[in-house]
């Protein structure tokens, strides 16, 4: 009989491992300790973070590399600290399992004024219900397995966070052992709608003389990169990506022409998309930052826009058409075009920061953002994970031509400053054999800097570039007021304070070369502080600032 049963905590941990969660981030607290005790005995490795917000960010970064992530925290004070990280994952469609250790079930009925509670014990659950694809508060060992499976299936199917609250008395209760996990079945397209959508799309694309494709976030989130690459190979069409879709496939691809962000795009990219007589847009999230402040101005009469379950062609909507099926249908039936006839100027010849452009340092010259990212185009190697913080880092790194196999991570929709410190931790844990390069601003770093120590503790080896421009530059380009000032830290000394190797301080192009030479020899975390001017930033960020100031009626 014993062999046929398992604890509820054991059931959940077994399922997590089965769906691909090898590491669990978190912070202890008395209500979650019973679950963490079981985690320590399981095949899921626990990674403690300095706070719950960073645990959620780490699970997000981990999921973007590994496929799915998870974190655990205690009821109330812990889980509510993590809310912002889960909300970002929800907005950007990242599958994260948020696990809360909560008070014993009797307390939910009698509602004593326990520590960490709010009197109303349902408040955390109601909050998480709004920022997750599914949620549950386990109430018995009998119903726990089905509830856990239901919630985890939703996480996989929708590629969004889910929430599981496990009361302290439920943790060690016995339930049936899990059988093979059967996720929710793949959503099938309506055959008639799919056929009709394909017929209309094929007619437009076969007639087009200057078609172009746009690849974006849903192709990454729903793991459709190979399907997209197959479509490109079959057709020969040029393609662009939007910021959220950056590195959906290799930016060294001969048909890749660059980053498309509406009026903020490079002139050639903007003109090539604008002059296209048919635009095939796949998996796009039309957010303000993704579209250059809603300036893409795509002509509906020339646009085919396919999302995960819907296709829009001109002014016609086709529901229940899965993006995977739509791409495969186009790949099967579209004709191959000669790329020479499609006006393709590869991004490798025009991208703002690219390794095809020689970089010759001037030793005494003060470093600027443009020159720094020009140099980074030569520094970043294939298969790297590049993480860019919202602000100067994100807008600059977006125009950095990535080498083959590189993965780009940036919160280009939700845009929570401080996200990348935790996300870098998660990415490094997910793929310790890949080099991680983080670009983070001083203001953002002050929000979440503590988990630099977690990276050091776990012997992770990212290269961190702290862009010190004396405050919140992303806010200064919107409205430059004293609230954008922050207290200056000696950032490069923090790595040593947290138990790592001393950081490096860089102000000139020559000092940057010296720092990079040391980074190449280092076997551990490298922290390099880069000093630039207060308002030294790319024009795309200035443009975003002007648009936001106007939208927010600040002038």
User: 236 in helix, strand or coil?
Assistant: coil
- DSSP codes, 115-161: TT--SSTTHHHHHHHTSSSEEEE---TTTHHHHHHHHHHHHHHHTS-
Neighbours of 272 (CB within 10 A): 22
Active-site position among 471, 500, 503, 545: 471
Catalytic residue (choose from 22, 30, 190, 383): 30
Question: 143 CB contacts (<8 Å, ≥6 apart)?
Answer: none
Q: Is 523 a catalytic residue?
A: no
52 belongs to the catalytic site: yes
Annotated active-site residue in 307, 469, 509, 529: 469
CA 222 – CA 68 distance, rounded (Å):
12
Q: Which residue in the list 10, 26, 52, 399 is annotated as catalytic?
A: 52
- d(Cα 440, Cα 387) in Å, to the nearest integer? 8
Helix (H) or strand (E) holding 373: helix 369-379
Rg (CA), the chain: 24
- 475, 480, 493, 513: the catalytic one is 475
DSSP labels, 368-419 = -HHHHHHHHHHH--TT-EEEE-TTHHHHHHTTBPPPTT-EEE--TTT--TTH
Has 142 been annotated as catalytic? no
User: What are the φ/ψ torsions at residue 185 (nearest 5 degrees)?
Assistant: -60, 150
Which is catalytic among the residues 5, 51, 116, 485? 116
Selection from 211, 249, 253 nearest residue 228 by Cα: 249
Q: Which of 415, 426, 441, 503 is catalytic?
A: 415
Task: Give the pairing of strands 436-441 and 407-409.
Answer: unpaired
Q: What does the alpha-carbon distance between residue 393 and residue 389 come to, in Å, rounded to a whole number?
A: 5
What whole-number distance in Å separates Cα of residue 555 and Cα of residue 552? 8
The angle formed by the CA atoms of residues 100, 104 and 105, to the nearest 5 degrees, is 100
Active site residue 442: yes
Catalytic residue among 37, 115, 271, 316: 115
Is 343 designated active site? no
Helix or strand (DSSP H, E) at 517: helix 509-521
Q: How many CB atoms lie within 10 A of CB 37?
A: 13
Phi-psi region at 388: left, alpha or beta (left = phi > 0; alpha = psi -120 to 50): beta
CB 43 within 8 A of CB 9: no
Strands 310-313 and 316-319, sheet pairing? antiparallel
Query: Residues 145, 176: contact at Cβ < 8 Å?
Result: yes
Residue 43 is among the residues annotated as catalytic for this protein: no
338 is catalytic: no
Is 115 noted as a catalytic residue in this protein? yes
Selecting among 149, 251, 442, 529, the annotated active-site residue is 442
Note if 23 is an active site residue. no
Indicate which residues carry an active-site annotation. 30, 52, 115-116, 415, 442, 469, 471, 475
């Amino acid at each position: 009989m014993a062999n046929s049963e398992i604890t509820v905590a054991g059931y959940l941990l077994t399922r997590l491992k089965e769906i691909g969660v090898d590491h669990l981030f978190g912070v202890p607290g008395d209500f979650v300790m019973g679950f963490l005790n079981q985690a320590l005995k399981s095949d899921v490795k626990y990674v403690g973070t300095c706070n719950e917000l960073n645990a959620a960010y780490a699970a997000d970064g981990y999921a973007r590399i590994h496929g799915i992530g998870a974190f655990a925290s205690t009821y109330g004070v812990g889980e509510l600290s993590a809310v912002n990280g889960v909300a970002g994952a929800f907005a950007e469609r990242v599958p994260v399992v948020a696990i809360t250790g909560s008070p014993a079930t009797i307390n939910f009925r009698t509602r004593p004024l326990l520590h960490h509670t709010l009197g109303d014990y349902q408040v955390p659950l109601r909050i998480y219900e709004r920022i997750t694809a599914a949620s549950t508060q386990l109430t018995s060992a009998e119903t726990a397995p089905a509830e856990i499976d239901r919630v985890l299936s939703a996480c996989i199917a929708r590629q969004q966070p889910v929430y599981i609250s496990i009361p302290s008395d439920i943790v060690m209760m016995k339930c049936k052992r899990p059988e093979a996990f059967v996720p929710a079945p793949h959503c099938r397209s309506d055959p008639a709608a799919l056929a009709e959508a394909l017929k209309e799309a094929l007619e437009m694309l076969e007639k087009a003389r200057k078609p172009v494709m746009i690849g974006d976030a849903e192709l990454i989130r729903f793991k459709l990169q190979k399907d997209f690459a197959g479509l490109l190979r079959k057709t020969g069409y040029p393609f662009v990506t939007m910021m959220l879709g950056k590195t959906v496939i290799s930016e060294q691809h001969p048909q890749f022409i660059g980053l498309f962000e509406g009026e903020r795009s490079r002139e050639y990219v903007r003109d090539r998309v604008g002059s296209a007589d048919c635009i095939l847009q796949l998996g796009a999230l039309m957010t303000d930052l993704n579209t250059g402040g809603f300036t893409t101005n795509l002509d509906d009469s020339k646009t085919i826009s396919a999302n995960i379950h819907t296709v829009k062609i001109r002014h016609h909507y086709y529901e229940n058409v899965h993006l995977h099926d739509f791409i495969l249908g186009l790949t099967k039936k579209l004709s191959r075009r000669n790329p020479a006839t499609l006006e393709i100027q590869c991004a490798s010849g025009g991208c703002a920061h690219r390794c095809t452009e020689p970089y010759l340092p001037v030793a005494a010259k003060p470093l600027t953002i443009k020159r720094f990212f020009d140099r980074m185009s030569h520094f970043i190697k294939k298969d790297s994970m590049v993480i860019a913080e919202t602000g100067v880092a994100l807008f600059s790194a977006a125009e950095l031509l990535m080498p083959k196999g590189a993965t780009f991570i940036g919160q280009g929709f939700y845009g929570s400053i401080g996200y990348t410190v935790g996300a870098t931790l998660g990415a490094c844990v997910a793929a310790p054999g890949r080099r991680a390069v983080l670009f983070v601003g001083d203001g953002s770093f002050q929000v979440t800097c503590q988990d630099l120590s977690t990276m050091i503790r776990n012997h992770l080896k990212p290269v961190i570039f702290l862009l010190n421009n004396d405050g919140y530059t992303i806010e200064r380009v919107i409205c430059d007021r004293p609230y954008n000032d922050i207290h200056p830290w000696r950032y490069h000394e923090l790595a040593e304070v947290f138990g790592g190797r001393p950081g490096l301080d860089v102000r000139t192009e020559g000092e940057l070369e010296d720092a990079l030479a040391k980074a190449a020899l280092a076997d551990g975390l490298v922290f390099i502080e880069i000093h630039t001017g207060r308002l030294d930033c790319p024009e795309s960020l200035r443009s975003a600032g002007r648009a936001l100031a106007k939208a927010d009626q600040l002038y």
